[in-house]
Structure 1
Amino acid sequence: MGDPTPLLSQPNNTSDTKTSPNKHLHSLGFTIEKCIGELNWSQFFQALLISFAWIFDAQQTFITVFTDEVPSWHCTGENIDILNGCYSTPSFNDVCKFPKGSWAWDGPPQASIISEWAMQCESSIITGLPASMFFMGCLVGGLFLSTLADSSSLGRKNMLFFSTLLMALSSFFTTFSPNIWIFSLLKFLSGFGRATIGTSSLVLASELVGKRWRGKISVIGFFCFTIGFLSLPAMAYANKTSSWRNLYLWTSIPTIFYCMLVKIFVQESPRWLLLKGKEEEAIATLKYITSITQSNLNLSINNMSSHEEENNLNVDLFYALKLLLQKKWSSRRLLLIMALGFGIGVVYYGMPLGLGNLSFNLYLSVTFNALSEIPSSLVTFFFIDKFKRRIALFVFCIISGVLSIMSTIEGELWSKMQIGFELISFFSACTSFSIYLIYTTELFPTCVRNSALSMARLAVVFGGAFSPLLVGAGRGNKFLCYGVFGLAIGFSGVFGVFLPETKGRVLCDTMDEEENKDKISCEILV
């Protein structure tokens, strides 16, 4: 609901500013908070449309689980043994020992890139190249695109649009790949574009609502990610008798249409617009998403002088990142949150990729993992405002680590329980990841929030980049896969204990406001 207090109205007298120099600085954040504090249908529609980007993000992140899988095969003829060139009950490692005529794929060759391009005898480095290139693209994209939404004139909306469009187009052209090298290059471009989709979506959605709804609105994105993840095994199963190219076609075309909707209907963050000095656009956005009228918006350009530093972010592309590292408190937070994200990323991206190492049906195991994100999102949605961020992160990271290690225990009874341990561990990792993203948006002010969240997600992706190597090593020794997963996330949870608590706190807009928040809180109480 709108608030009758004029937006960015001037102080009554100069003595107020002299008495409390922070009051003028903080009028922007508090006034915007009053304007957008109550959730209405327009804000909900905006947040929902923005969060849909997570569906396509999830599909491209985990699509290689099916398109790059190692197909099953069988011996041709009846009762063929080693003397005739093929075992009656072969394993995949045997396929390169036999002549071509003694075995055949169970399904059509075009069902996987491995069978279509005859890569069954290639090294794990070659067969894992597309997945590795995707994560490399995420790393490079996260590094070079992380500050654009803060430091350039693009903003949150345009970054979401262009990132999603790049991912969609590269995925679409993947369907025409003639070989593994072109395929890997397009996977790199897809990862490059995908790098900032979740970041821009989460930041934009959280900045369009007040603190009361910030946590719950953010969870919508996690639900959408689950939907995207869950859609993959269904599409892959329906596509198992046809080409892997269809999966990229089915996921890329809807993404292109979604980009059009973003361009037409999504509004830019009013916080970012005001910090960039775009007062008229900010007013138009506030009028669109709230019930505020023009008479309530007494805008003064002089009031933007306190944000002159942030308005000059256009000068240097990496100014926001430099600003993060210049301040001792912000650089410390950034390092701690990235250390925490690395361990979460190893498990979050690694466990779905390592499901082939478990003695369980691949389609069912991926489906169960995707389904486990639903209760994770529900726990986050209903309890995000009830528990402290850093304590919750620590607890869920420890639970995930312990159960991941337990899933490596061998034995007839333990082997049957492996999938259960893995699911609970993945559920805890998903919950940790959800809280981690929300927590990061609350730790940093608007002027650097997108950059900080991008670096945090970059750490998660960096952890995920190690996952394919661990999964490959885990084929011979499960502890090198799930055991290392557990140690990584368990130790990373400790770093969150050293970060400040943000539960119930109003979002800050400037570095000075964030740095002096304790002093401000005392002034408000007085």
Structure 2
Amino acid sequence: MPNSISSPLLSQSDSIESKQPPSLNDTIEQCIGDFSWAQFLQVFLVSLAFLFDAQQTFISIFTDVEPTWHCNTQLEDESCNSFSDICQLSKNSWSWDFPVHTSIISEWGLECASSLVKGLPASSFFMGCLAGGFILATLADSSLGRKNTLLLSCLIMSLSSLLTIFSTNVWIYSVLRFVNGFGRATIGACVIVLSTELVGKKWRGQVGTIGFVCFALGFLSLPAIAYINRGSSWRALYFWTSTPTLLYSILIPFFVRESPRWLFVRGRTEEAVLIVKSIASTNQNISGISFSDLCFERETRNVDHLYSAIKILVEKKWACRRLSAVIVTGFGIGTVYYGMPLGLGNLSFNLYLSVTLNALSELPSSIIIFFIVGKLNRRSSLLGFTILSGICSVMCLMADKVSVMLQIGLELVSFLSACTACGLMLIYTIELFPTCVRNSAVSMYRQAIVLGATISPVLVAAGRKNGFLSFGVFGLLIGICGLFVVSLPETRDRPISDTMDEEEYKFACDNIS
């Protein structure tokens, strides 16, 4: 940390700024500030990983569903009717409406198993996400980089999904779902960070929405794949979702470029310069830039081992405060983002239609982010969306007595606001932390969202008897947790930093200006 940052001379900010050498950010902005077709292609290729990520996240909706059944009327068993407990009937008195291999529940005879066993695969997936986030999160900032971490995550996710086809019981299936969640844990962070680091600040917020759109399309593609394969084995869904992901993983080493910012920070200047030149090949201003004279001091703190980036974030008070606020806000958003779709069964509206409407909400959320990210402040936008989501969630409880349409309308507004807040907070987190620890910080934010997801099913189950314990608690959590963004600095139109010292310098100058 330079002594000048803590010096009283900071009161003369103009004097200090005049002595500050040209930063890495200024040089890269001058080269790749324009949004060229080369950059668009890179962002699009990277963002495609979000599509496959969404498919693996929500695939259990169809593979782990409890199928419908009917009574075998030819046996004339009067004890069998649509209101009967299937576990109290003899095996010969009823049959599944579809072939037994359409779901793991029917194929492995889990219809009378405990809710813990039937929910084990889904729980294993989210536990894998938590484990993968903590173990793989900092690899993108340390040894592997953004590109190789994305490759590793996609490979683990696709191979584990492909191996799931050969599961013979719920225990093996759950283990493979854990591995699947472990692999996909860092995909979102790698996609957003790599996309934004390949473009200038003018397009930083907008390119992030490309990933959100891909995630929404991945979510919406699942019903189509499931409908085409209706009556087929649940294994077909894993095959048709894992195979494209595996092919995509093979393309990553050949067509996706590493972040030049990360390469510069790691001291791999020659590689970084080649990538910057290839991206900015159509920019006429590049001819006047001398990369050999680039004035950039490599981060003095080594980010070489797995948790060094996290250690750096915790050691610095200002970084720790920011990370804490991001995690708390992410936890509140995560409970609503995952809890709302799970809690739709507690409402009086048609379940299938409400699930479809919630899935479609992802698209307008991306459009909203695209148009407001460059015009509105981060703090005020996030504060508004989290409070709106909280109010509408609580009002869902009272709307049931007025109108079913009003109830589902308030639920959709709450979920749409939570989706928008989730995306905005992701972009905000990218801008709050420098390149050397950015991927780790984004991963911690996503971990907070997953942590919120782990308590959502419990709240939904409790809400079947007392509605306030689901939608009421959802509303309070996102509303209260959203207030923590007030403690964060505003970052709109502010250049992103590459080292901790550079960010600390800017933070000090902002405080005295």
The reply to whether TM is greater than 0.5 is yes
Corresponding position of 2:246: 256
Corresponding position of 2:136: 145
TM-score after normalising by structure 1: 0.89
Distance 2:18 2:316 in 1: 19
Distance 2:18 2:311 in 1: 24
Superposed CA deviations along residues 61-110 of structure 1, whole A, max 9, x for unmatched, are: 111112112222222217967xx3223x326xx22122222222222222
Q: Secondary structure at the match of 2:264?
A: helix
Distance 1:259 1:347 in 2: 31
Q: Which residue identity is paired with 1:102?
A: S
Q: Secondary structure at the match of 2:361?
A: helix
The more displaced of 269-278 and 352-361 is 352-361
Superposed CA deviations along residues 452-483 of structure 1, whole A, max 9, x for unmatched, are: 10111111111111122223333444333323
CA distance 1:364–1:232, shift in 2 (3 Å): farther
CA distance 1:71–1:412, shift in 2 (3 Å): farther
Corresponding position of 2:314: 325
Corresponding position of 1:90: 83
Deviation at 1:22, TM superposition (A): 8.2
Deviation at 1:35, TM superposition (A): 1.3
Deviation at 1:170, TM superposition (A): 0.5
Q: Answer yes or no: is the 8 Å Cα contact 1:233–1:367 preserved in 2.
A: no
Corresponding position of 2:27: 31
Q: Which residue identity is paired with 1:108?
A: P
Q: Equivalences for 1:337-356 in 2 at 5 Å?
A: 337-356=326-345
Is 1:172 matched up with 2:183? Answer: no
Corresponding position of 2:368: 379
Corresponding position of 1:185: 175
The runs of 5 or more residues in structure 1 that have no matched partner are: 1-18
Q: Secondary structure at the match of 1:104?
A: strand
Deviation at 1:361, TM superposition (A): 4.7
Q: Which residue identity is paired with 1:146?
A: A
Q: Answer yes or no: is the 8 Å Cα contact 1:403–1:424 preserved in 2.
A: yes
Is 1:298 matched up with 2:290? Answer: yes
Q: Answer yes or no: is the 8 Å Cα contact 1:59–1:228 preserved in 2.
A: yes
Distance 2:151 2:61 in 1: 26
Q: Which residue identity is paired with 1:177?
A: S
Superposed CA deviations along residues 243-301 of structure 1, whole A, max 9, x for unmatched, are: 11111111111111111222211111111011111111001101111126886453348
Corresponding position of 1:224: 214
Distance 1:22 1:239 in 2: 65
Is 1:57 matched up with 2:57? Answer: no
Is 1:113 matched up with 2:104? Answer: yes
Q: Which residue identity is paired with 2:298?
A: H
Corresponding position of 2:38: 42
Distance 1:157 1:252 in 2: 20
CA distance 1:251–1:281, shift in 2 (3 Å): same
Superposed CA deviations along residues 201-235 of structure 1, whole A, max 9, x for unmatched, are: 10000000011000001110001111001111222
Corresponding position of 2:269: 279
- Which of 450, 455, 470 aligns to 1:461? It is 450
Q: Equivalences for 1:15-30 in 2 at 5 Å?
A: 20=16, 23-24=19-20, 26-30=22-26
Aligned-pair identity in percent equals 56
Distance 1:446 1:474 in 2: 42
CA distance 1:199–1:40, shift in 2 (3 Å): same
The runs of 5 or more residues in structure 2 that have no matched partner are: 1-14
Deviation at 1:23, TM superposition (A): 4.9
Q: Answer yes or no: is the 8 Å Cα contact 1:441–1:449 preserved in 2.
A: yes
Q: Answer yes or no: is the 8 Å Cα contact 1:54–1:224 preserved in 2.
A: yes
- Which of 476, 479, 501 aligns to 1:512? It is 501
Distance 1:487 1:522 in 2: 32
Residues matched between the structures, number: 497
Q: Answer yes or no: is the 8 Å Cα contact 1:74–1:90 preserved in 2.
A: no
Corresponding position of 1:12: none
Corresponding position of 2:425: 436
Moved beyond 6 Å, runs of 4+: 78-81
CA distance 1:26–1:339, shift in 2 (3 Å): farther
Distance 1:243 1:117 in 2: 12
Corresponding position of 1:16: none
Deviation at 1:498, TM superposition (A): 1.6
Corresponding position of 1:195: 185
Corresponding position of 1:307: 298
Deviation at 1:399, TM superposition (A): 1.5
Corresponding position of 2:5: none
Q: Answer yes or no: is the 8 Å Cα contact 1:237–1:363 preserved in 2.
A: no
TM-score after normalising by structure 2: 0.91
Is 1:129 matched up with 2:120? Answer: yes
